[in-house]
Amino acid sequence: MTESSYTVTGMTCGHCAGAVREEVEALAGVAKVDVDVESGSVVVTSEAPLAVDDVRAAVEEAGYALA
pLDDT in tens, 37-57: 999 999 999 999 999 999 999
pTM over 0.75: yes
**β-sheet with 41-46: strand ranges across:** 30-36, 41-46, 2-9, 65-66
Mean pLDDT computed over 1-12: 97
Total length of the chain = 67
Domain extent for 30? 2-66
Say how many domains are in the chain: 1
Q: What's the CATH number where 7 sits?
A: 3.30.70.100
- How many angstroms separate the CA atoms of 16 and 31, rounded? 20
- The pLDDT mean for the chain works out to 97
**Is residue 21 very low, low, confident or very high in pLDDT (cuts 50, 70, 90)?**
very high
